[in-house]
Amino acid sequence: MNEKHAPLFHIAKRKSLTWYKAWGIRLLAILLALILDALITTLVTGLNPLGVYGTIFKGSFGSMRKFWVLMQNISILLCVSIAVTPAFKMRFWNVGGEGQILVGALATAACMILLGNSLPNAILIPVMVLASVAAGAVWGLIPAFFKAKWNTNETLFTLMMNYVATQLVAYFVIVWEVPKGAGKIGIINQSTEAGWFPMIGTNRYLINIIIVAVLTFFVYYYNRFSKHGYEIAVVGGSEKTARYVGINVQKVIMRTMALSGALCGVAGLLLVAGTNHTVTTSISGGRGFTAVMVAWLAKFNPFAMILTSFLIVFLERGASAISSDFGLNASFADIITGIILFFIIASEFFINYQLVFRKGHRKTEGKEA
């Protein structure tokens, strides 16, 4: 009787897969996504899918300049991703990266505008670093404090803090707008370049890339080998255990979120002092959210995040190149990259679970039913 109602298949948790099998599944997922994309491209637009894929590749590697823009975009996204990681390892869902980047950017811009004419770069830039780190840390600390003291919901709290930060930036944009009523600050200190990160050789973006590379090593070390990192892992595993072994859970939550916010603040610093030299409400470009996906796909390993953030930026740049060469609307490019992302995320499901099918001899029983 029981067998009659057995489903065609059921889902079971896998025992841990060997690394090459796991990567095999991931590659297969990307391959399937590319095939589906190719079908959709041909059916909808009649274009040759191989040409489209070539263009995606060209969007990132077509010229030296495109390559550096790719590297710069990866470095900023990576910076935010490693920033949210310590909090995530603690099971503190910091979705407030966006706001923490914005206040860091705002603090940097404030220093450049208010102190740009009075301090030399050798002093101004360290001041900007301190200001942006402090601003980001405070923005991360506020929800952590409420979580630690009163167990508020950190997901909602950090999300709300994003809106507060956006409005704060909007307010100061109006205060510093040039010309009056324009609603834009424009490039800050364009003639003096006060507070701008120096170029390395002729490369404007290299300094950002180096800073993020150093931070990536730092976060890896911090999570893996430091006492703090261990405490984070224990708190993330079980708060009760952490308390039992004498870890001050409240302190760990606040310290970790301050670090997480501070690193997001650095991302804001890099965006303002390194590249844009202005601040707008949209300067973080959704990276605070994208970083959550980057960190998660990389299983919170900072070095794996280099790969996952590369993937996201590569797809974004490719999407713009598709529209470029084929005159398609941006939405079509979003469909192509969206399919690839969904397949990659779905592949994680098949790495953790497997489908167990009904045994073959039940076919005959099925007919009876």
Give the residue with the Cβ less far from other proteins, 146 or 332: 332
Burial class of 239 by CB neighbour count within 10 A (0 to 12, 13 to 18, 19+): middle
Q: What is the DSSP string of 198-242?
A: PPBTTBSSHHHHHHHHHHHHHHHHHHHHSHHHHHHHHHHH-HHHH
Give the residue with the Cβ less far from other proteins, 125 or 292: 292
| Shortest separation between residue 138's beta carbon and other proteins, angstroms | 24
Q: Residue 345 interacts with other proteins (CB under 8 A)?
A: yes
Q: What is the DSSP string of 1-45?
A: -GGGG--SEEEEEPPPPPHHHHHHHHHHHHHHHHHHHHHHHHHHH
Among the listed residues 45, 121, 152, 155, the single contact to other proteins using CB under 8 A = 155
Determine the Cα–Cα distance for residues 172 and 339; give it in Å rounded to an integer.
39
Q: Residue 347 interacts with other proteins (CB under 8 A)?
A: no
Q: Residue 174 interacts with other proteins (CB under 8 A)?
A: yes
Provide the mask over 251-290, with x wherever binding to other proteins is found by CB under 8 A and - wherever it is not.
------------------------xxxx-x-xx-xxx-xx
Give the residue with the Cβ less far from other proteins, 126 or 286: 286
Determine the Cα–Cα distance for residues 98 and 262; give it in Å rounded to an integer.
12
Strand ranges inside the chain, DSSP E = 9-13, 353-357
Give the pair of three-digit tokens for residue 21: 């099998």
Sign of the CA dihedral with 194 first, then 199, 204, and 206 last: negative
What angle, 0 to 180 degrees and rounded to 10, lies between the N-to-C axes of helices 302-326 and 206-225? Answer: 140
Q: Residue 296 interacts with other proteins (CB under 8 A)?
A: yes
Among the listed residues 181, 201, 246, 360, the single contact to other proteins using CB under 8 A = 181
| Shortest separation between residue 65's beta carbon and other proteins, angstroms | 6
Query: In this structure, what is the dihedral angle of CA atoms 258, 261, 267, 268, given to the nearest 10 degrees?
Result: -110
Determine the Cα–Cα distance for residues 277 and 57; give it in Å rounded to an integer.
29
Among the listed residues 30, 293, 304, 351, the single contact to other proteins using CB under 8 A = 293
Question: One-letter amino acid identity for 37?
Answer: D
Sign of the CA dihedral with 329 first, then 330, 331, and 334 last: positive
| Shortest separation between residue 292's beta carbon and other proteins, angstroms | 4
Q: Residue 66 interacts with other proteins (CB under 8 A)?
A: yes
Q: Residue 95 interacts with other proteins (CB under 8 A)?
A: yes
Query: In this structure, what is the dihedral angle of CA atoms 278, 280, 282, 288, given to the nearest 10 degrees?
Result: 70
Q: Residue 170 interacts with other proteins (CB under 8 A)?
A: yes
Residues 303 and 212 sit within 8 Å (Cβ to Cβ)? no
Q: Residue 54 interacts with other proteins (CB under 8 A)?
A: no
What is the three-class DSSP state of 329? coil
Q: Residue 190 interacts with other proteins (CB under 8 A)?
A: yes
Pick out residues in 203-222 that bind other proteins (CB under 8 A). Answer: none
Q: Residue 61 interacts with other proteins (CB under 8 A)?
A: no
Give the residue with the Cβ less far from other proteins, 260 or 280: 280
Among the listed residues 12, 44, 178, 210, the single contact to other proteins using CB under 8 A = 178
Give the residue with the Cβ less far from other proteins, 142 or 185: 185
Give the residue with the Cβ less far from other proteins, 6 or 170: 170
Beta-carbon neighbour count of residue 210 at 10 Å?
A: 12
| Shortest separation between residue 300's beta carbon and other proteins, angstroms | 13
Give the residue with the Cβ less far from other proteins, 62 or 134: 62
Binding residues for other proteins, per CB under 8 A?
Answer: 63, 65-66, 69, 93, 95, 155, 170, 174, 176, 178-184, 186-187, 190, 275-278, 280, 282-283, 285-287, 289-290, 292-293, 296, 316, 319-325, 327-331, 333-334, 337-338, 341, 345
